[in-house]
Homo-oligomer: A and B are copies of this chain.
């Protein structure tokens, strides 16, 4: 059976990445592509790299007949997303890639995003989309909120350690290096090739990055007490990739064993041999996440590092993985593409 899929916000990078992945999916068919600003254009015009595919033209969201759609990916900007999803049929299966339904508490949402939430009821309904940790809830969900790409990377190294109580909860530093496609297709001076290609820098320093809302929510829930980490993202001159370097306190072997056990059998997450550090070049273009654990020379301190592709495992790949669960398909369908190297 082939599922009819709609993608709203198909003219952005995560929309294009969804199309790239779904193109090889054995039981999904793209039935509608919504992009209000590009309505009437073909995908080949907006993304010439997808011109070999037989795809419907872009339409406005209003033009889509959602009764014929089995699942809708929503890759719209945050704030727009909550309004659009609120207006969609409330029995339509939706995977949202925006930030709008990641935070369960309306007050937290408003604190981090600066505006009151416009769909508080949906916020309650939404399931947080970090597949490996919400698998059952996602399989039964109607609305899944894709995680932040930085938030996913940090959680992959920290969640099992917090759950197992093997690290000091008050001494967590997360230094993250992300590639530029994570900033989307926005036209900003600091995203120009001439500015970025030979320069890199920290941003949202001091605990102001919105993905901290996700870390706070999730880590505190797991720990059963407030957990606040230090988190500094850096923008790196590369297209795809997130490398998260975590500084934690605990015993290296215990930490290693905890992570190894947590991801035992997971199709997309690999814990490298003890002492090895991952590289973004080895996961680019794929849904895989590599995790490394290294003991520091200072006893009781450990460095834990994760690498994933922000557009795939950090966003559109995660979304497809969740959609597979929601549609009772093989979880890995369309997602086993090998990384592209070099």
Q: Within the assembled complex, what's the spacing in Å between the Cα atoms of A232 and B240?
A: 22
- Judge whether A254 is part of the interface by a CB distance below 8 angstroms: no
Contact between B189 and A185 (Cβ–Cβ < 8 Å)? yes
Contact between A296 and B19 (Cβ–Cβ < 8 Å)? no
- Judge whether A222 is part of the interface by a CB distance below 8 angstroms: no
B-contacting residues, A301-324, CB 8 Å: 301, 303, 305, 307, 311
Contact between A247 and B230 (Cβ–Cβ < 8 Å)? yes
- Judge whether A124 is part of the interface by a CB distance below 8 angstroms: no
Name A206's contact: one of B192, B193, B238, B297 (CB within 8 Å).
Answer: B297
- Judge whether A202 is part of the interface by a CB distance below 8 angstroms: yes
Contact between A181 and B342 (Cβ–Cβ < 8 Å)? yes
Give the residue name and chain of the B residue nearest to A183 (CB): B194
Give the residue name and chain of the B residue nearest to A182 (CB): B194
Contact between A206 and B236 (Cβ–Cβ < 8 Å)? no
The segment out of A86-94, A150-158, A271-279 that lies at the interface is A271-279
Q: Within the assembled complex, what's the spacing in Å between the Cα atoms of A241 and B88?
A: 42
The segment out of A44-52, A67-75, A100-108 that lies at the interface is A44-52
Name A277's contact: one of B193, B201, B338 (CB within 8 Å).
Answer: B201
Q: Within the assembled complex, what's the spacing in Å between the Cα atoms of A47 and B194?
A: 13
Instruction: List chain B residues, Cβ under 8 A from A135.
Output: none
Instruction: List chain B residues, Cβ under 8 A from A301.
Output: 230
Instruction: List chain B residues, Cβ under 8 A from A298.
Output: 207, 228, 230
Q: Within the assembled complex, what's the spacing in Å between the Cα atoms of A185 and B197?
A: 14
Contact between A243 and B238 (Cβ–Cβ < 8 Å)? no
Instruction: Given A202-B303, A234-B243, A296-B206, check contact A194 B279 (CB 8 Å).
Output: no
Contact between A237 and B237 (Cβ–Cβ < 8 Å)? yes
Contact between B198 and A240 (Cβ–Cβ < 8 Å)? yes
Instruction: Given A202-B303, A207-B297, A340-B340, check contact A197 B239 (CB 8 Å).
Output: yes
- Judge whether A79 is part of the interface by a CB distance below 8 angstroms: no
Instruction: List chain B residues, Cβ under 8 A from A199.
Output: 238, 241, 279-282, 284, 341
The interface of chain A, by Cβ under 8 A from chain B, is 13, 16, 19-20, 23-24, 47-53, 173, 175, 177, 180-181, 183, 185, 187-189, 191-203, 205-208, 212, 228, 230, 232, 234, 236-241, 243, 245, 247, 270, 275, 277-286, 288, 290, 292, 294-298, 301, 303, 305, 307, 311, 336-342
Closest CB pairs A-B (n = 7): A199-B281, A207-B297, A201-B279, A194-B342, A187-B187, A49-B339, A49-B282
